[in-house]
Amino acid sequence: MEREFFTQPTLKVAQQLLGKTLVRIWRGKRLAGKIVETEAYIGPKDKASHAYLGKKTPRNRAEFMVGGHIYIYLVYGMYWQLNFSTETKGRPTCVLIRALEPLEGINEPTNGPGKLCRALKLNKSFYGEDLCRSSRIWLENGLEIPQEAQIVRSARIGIDYAGPYWSKIPWRFYIKGNNFVSKK
């Protein structure tokens, strides 16, 4: 994917990522899956964002990179979470990749952000990686998903700490009827 794809508004990127193929090269082998679920995070106003109120830390600096860079972090000390920066440099926005439908070389569950990172052998070494230039991870065009019939919008998952407004805002997107979505 070209840089222009990632520098669009975050909510648009979150929806247009659905159907794209995420490819990872691991030990000379191609691991690929169709993106079937995403969540958008638009800091600094978004209380669920790591960049809420414009907070910039060593952990979240990749959120501030121009669209198309990987923001990966560990939760609960054991689960990696894969995000793609969006929009312009200095604007902390990103999309969490929540689930994949396995296509090539993946033999583990991918119906959740931690599971897909484990299946793709992703870790901190991918932090800040440029998806537009990398030779070990990138996106390819896949199926275009017609929004009006096939994309479901819902509240994001696991962010009750952000309060009643931000935890219920419908910035989670998934392909209707797909068996690999983390929660329906």
Question: Which one, of 60, 23, 16, lies nearest residue 38 by Cα?
Answer: 16
* pLDDT by 10s per residue, the chain, length 184: 999 999 999 999 999 999 999 999 999 999 999 999 999 999 899 999 999 999 999 999 999 999 999 999 999 888 999 999 999 999 999 999 999 999 999 999 999 999 999 999 999 999 999 999 999 999 999 877 766 679 999 999 999 999 999 999 999 999 999 999 998 7
Q: Is residue 180 part of a domain?
A: no
Domain count, the chain: 1
pTM value?
0.95
Give residue 38's domain range: 3-175
Q: Is residue 184 part of a domain?
A: no
- What CATH number does residue 57 fall under? 3.10.300.10
Q: Is residue 114 part of a domain?
A: yes
For 61, the token pair is 């600096």
Q: Is residue 183 part of a domain?
A: no
